[in-house]
Amino acid sequence: MARRPTKALVVGSGAREHALAWALAQSRQVEEVVASPGNPGIGEVARLVPAMSPADLVAYARKEGALVVVGPEDPLAEGLADRLREEGLLVVGPGQRGAQLESSKRFAKEVMRELGVPTASATVLTSPEALAQAIETTPRWPMVVKQSGLAQGKGVRILFTPEEARALLEEWRSQRRWFEEGLLWEDFLLGRELSVEVFTNGREYVWLPPAVDHKRLTEDPASPNTGGMGAYAPVPWLDPATQTAIDRRILQPVVGYLRERGIDYRGVLYAGLMITEEGPWVLEFNVRFGDPEAEAVLPLLADDLYEWLYALAAGEPLPPAVNLKPEVAVAVVLASQGYPSAPVVGRPIHIGRRVEGTLIFHAGTERAKGQLVSRGGRVLTVVATDRDFALARRRAYEQVRAIQLEGGQFRVDIAQFGVEQPQVANPGQGA
């Protein structure tokens, strides 16, 4: 049997990658965590190396003998996992064929239609003229328009009126590539959003704790869409019947498709769902951990994350279920002023006192002249765990308010509901 790698190389620089590096650093199986390029927070738990080209990353992973964990979607869409596996290296993340489930919403929609997976009806538009015609002939509103390609979580617009749609047309008219890839003109679904993530080796899958992401900038449903302003896990309102429906109608058919088509998929499959009166419907698929869902989910694992990631990378059979701590998690994102349209960067960040039971995962940060400063739109994700949501919320917001960032903004309603104990949110393995 081949020797297990004792090093883990995390590719990426966001809060999701910080959470992955943090979890791997706690493993007795891992002697060292390396991150490329990482960020100052990741540097507290891992050795940082500069960003590398795919060829250099393959060479580095071979030299270090590391298990590679690819955090963001872009390298997966570009085939990084394929290149690593061709060299006999262990990597967590699907190959380029599997990554199309996220890199092409058009492809994902075609797969769902073929499998009969519940998803909103959509028309593919390939020109500004086609979008204009769709706007003028649509009888009911709201409607949803989606960029087919990768858009860092910001390529979806909900349009409530024809006037909003015409304004968007003028804004996007010059984006030739978006039209060439195809815009999806999609029916609006009403319900409660849910993020479901599973570990899968392309043959079978195991649930992680479901989560709820808060995508709008504020609690105002008309505020801008973002990459995610906070999350909580598990989900107290998710009942066993709906979990069973998600298995039967969505996860089993899609993983079966991967298996039957011989698609090499080893990693995390994320289903963004809308739970409607008719049951669960798919909004989108991602081919990696969600962000900020990862920051809420990973602290709940009682298992050694390395053991799961190694099994995925090696294509081994999966254990029947993930073991969880008897806790809940609330994650709150602190974002820069001006996010998401024009984030102000370079402002000092002062992390005051540390609140017990909280974690701070860095996203858009860097060091400048010895000072921690903001580097991007989403700056930090604060996570609190506790035995119930009321206590976790209190801790999370106490920690957020202890951080100084001029113009910083955050939502005040993450996991804002009555004190509800989570129902069974660990339904185990499907195939």
**Using an 8 Å Cβ cutoff, are 35 and 49 in contact?**
yes
pLDDT value of residue 151: 73
Token representation of residue 185: 């003109």
Write out pLDDT tens, residues 216-227. 999 998 898 899
Question: Per-residue pLDDT for 74 more than 80?
Answer: yes
* Domain extent at residue 161: 121-187
Write out pLDDT tens, residues 147-160. 998 876 668 888 99
Rounded CA-CA distance 425/209 in Å is 6
Question: Per-residue pLDDT for 422 more than 80?
Answer: no
pLDDT value of residue 153: 60
User: How wide is the angle at C-alpha 209 spanned by C-alphas 398 and 273, nearest 5°?
Assistant: 100
Question: Per-residue pLDDT for 412 more than 60?
Answer: yes
Residues 133 and 86 in one domain: no
Residues 395 and 274 in one domain: yes
pLDDT value of residue 155: 80
Residues 229 and 352 in one domain: yes
User: How wide is the angle at C-alpha 191 spanned by C-alphas 190 and 194, nearest 5°?
Assistant: 130
Write out pLDDT tens, residues 205-263. 999 999 999 999 999 988 988 999 999 999 999 999 999 999 999 999 999 999 999 99
Number of CB atoms found within 10 A of residue 422's CB: 21
Question: Per-residue pLDDT for 400 more than 50?
Answer: yes
pLDDT value of residue 430: 56
Q: Which of 150, 166, 187 is the last residue of a domain?
A: 187
Write out pLDDT tens, residues 324-373. 999 999 999 999 999 999 999 999 999 989 999 999 999 999 999 999 99
Q: Which of 78, 95, 112 is the last residue of a domain?
A: 95
User: 3-state DSSP helix/strand/coil percent for the chain, to nearest 5?
Assistant: 30, 30, 40
| Pairing, β 122-125 against β 47-48 | unpaired
In a domain, 115, yes or no: no
> Where is 74: in which H helix or E strand?
helix 73-77
Phi, psi of 49 (to 5 degrees): -130, 155
For the chain, the C-alpha Rg in angstroms (whole number) is 21
Q: Which residue has the tokens 């390298």?
A: 75
In a domain, 83, yes or no: yes
- Mean pLDDT across 83-109: 97
Residues 342 and 381 in one domain: yes
Q: Which of 187, 203, 218 is the last residue of a domain?
A: 187
Quote the crossing angle between the two packed helices 15-25 and 305-314, to the nearest 10°. Answer: 100
Question: What are the residues facing 373 on neighbouring strands?
Answer: 348, 366
Question: Per-residue pLDDT for 420 more than 70?
Answer: no
Determine which of 74-83, 145-154, 174-183, 323-332 has the lowest per-residue pLDDT on average: 145-154
Question: Per-residue pLDDT for 1 more than 90?
Answer: no
Residues 288 and 379 in one domain: yes
Question: Per-residue pLDDT for 421 more than 60?
Answer: no
Residues 179 and 215 in one domain: no
In a domain, 417, yes or no: yes
**Using an 8 Å Cβ cutoff, are 373 and 364 in contact?**
no
pLDDT value of residue 28: 96
pTM, full prediction? 0.94
Q: What percent of the chain has pLDDT over 70?
A: 96
Phi-psi category of residue 302: left, alpha or beta, with phi > 0 → left and psi -120 to 50 → alpha: alpha
Question: Per-residue pLDDT for 424 more than 50?
Answer: no
pLDDT value of residue 302: 98
Q: Which residues of 222-240 are buried (b: 16+ CB within 10 A; e: fewer)?
A: eeebbbbbbbbbbbbebee
pLDDT value of residue 425: 39
Rounded CA-CA distance 62/114 in Å is 39
pLDDT value of residue 344: 98
In a domain, 108, yes or no: no
Q: Which residue has the tokens 């590679």?
A: 68
Determine which of 33-37, 150-154, 314-318, 393-397 has the lowest per-residue pLDDT on average: 150-154
Residues 248 and 382 in one domain: yes
Residues 157 and 284 in one domain: no
Rounded CA-CA distance 12/73 in Å is 10
Distances (CA, A) of 212 to 236, 338, 370: 10, 24, 36
Strands (E), 49-187: 66-70, 91-92, 122-125, 143-147, 156-159, 183-187
In a domain, 1, yes or no: no
pLDDT value of residue 404: 98
* Mean pLDDT of all residues belonging to the chain: 94
Domain count, the chain: 3
pLDDT value of residue 175: 86
pLDDT value of residue 285: 97
Q: 4: exposed, middle or buried (C-beta count within 10 Å: 0-12, 13-18, 19+)?
A: middle
Question: Per-residue pLDDT for 381 more than 50?
Answer: yes
Banded pLDDT at 427 (limits 50, 70, 90): very low
Residues 174 and 304 in one domain: no
Distances (CA, A) of 337 to 117, 343, 374, 405: 39, 6, 10, 9
Question: What are the residues facing 335 on neighbouring strands?
Answer: 378, 409
Rounded CA-CA distance 193/209 in Å is 15
